[in-house]
Chains A and B, each alone.
Chain A
Amino acid sequence: MAKKILIVDDSSTLRASVEFTLSEHGYEVLQAGDGVEGLEVLKGFEGKESEIGMIITDINMPNMDGLTFVKEVKKTTFKFIPILVLTTESQESKKIEGKEAGASGWLVKPFKPEQLVAVVSKFVK
């Protein structure tokens, strides 16, 4: 079964672009518009955590921002799933915050589709 990738971003165009790119490479993409929705999607996979291969999240989002979302995920049974932050933020201080929150990687937008696929295939075996 194809591993599922959860994309959490408030931009529907960005989510559509990520879904198109990753589904072309055989991944199934789940979408959420902010951190709160992201946690809800994960809740639906309690007991079958291994179906989720990776989480990709934006930083600046309404309701729950990306860094809070990463910290919340780390408190759940989904804490072993790698999380890539995909954001326009590129300051070192922000990246350190991401690392401390528990993210596994940081990719600054705008990104090349091939680069996203390469990062995902590195994390999702």
Chain B
Amino acid sequence: MNISYNTRFRLELVTIFPGEFHATGQDRVIYTLLGSCIAVVLYDPVKKVGGMNHFMLPDTIDKERFYLSKSGKYGMYAMELLINELIKLGGVKKNFSAKVFGGGSVLGSKVGNVSKVPENNIRFALAFLEEEKIPLIASNIGGNEARKVYFFTKESRILLKRIARSEVAPIASEESAYFNKIRTEKEVKKEQLTFF
């Protein structure tokens, strides 16, 4: 994550990278660059807190019971981190609405036979929101493009820029590295369990 002052927007701009999230009650812009990855934006219009994550699933998911697969759990974890942070900031889950971006087919041949990555990411995000009863109010997903997403937290406004496929090489290589990292990551470390 990188925080800088943006002179054009005259606001603090928080850039998030694959696997990260940011939530705030302040007037900021949260920005991310998406290829195959998904970004979910959640906003509570009553408490005026909002946030965005940026994640990818390491594997395929079962459409019916996505929460049982390793991949589904990974996505649930990404969502829970964001939801918890919003609750800590005073957000109320039943007020949340969601916007979903990304899932473009931009990895190309970079990661072999994982052409279903974008499709899985989209499917998970939509299934998760439906299951958790968080209304989806806007989305820009799929296709062959990469996307730049700017989330203005004060008014929950989105500025979206599409990037041509020819310009996505750096994103694709960053996402491939992230994809390989999460696929080979050990799921559970020993210190995650403590008995009192």
Contact = CB atoms under 8 A, between A and B. Distances in A.
A12 B187 contact: no
Nearest to A10: B93
B131 A105 contact: no
Interface residues of B, number: 29
Interface in B158-196: 187-188, 192-196
A17 B192 contact: no
Given A17-B67, A88-B81, A105-B193, A110 B76 contact: yes
A12 B131 contact: yes
Given A110-B187, A112-B188, A20 B193 contact: no
Contacts of B5: none
Contact of A13 (B67, B92, B93, B94): B67
A98 interface: yes
A105 B192 CA distance: 11
B73 A16 contact: no
Interface residues of A, number: 30
Given A16-B67, A17-B68, A60-B87, A11 B76 contact: yes
Interface string A99-125: 100011111111110010001000000
B129 to A, nearest CB: 10
Contact of B65 (A20, A109, A119): A20
Contact of B132 (A11, A88, A105, A108): A11
A3 interface: no
Contacts of B67: 13-14, 16-17
6 contacts: A11-B80, A13-B131, A16-B67, A17-B72, A109-B77, A110-B188
Interface of A: 10-14, 16-17, 20, 59-62, 88-90, 95, 98-99, 103-112, 115, 119
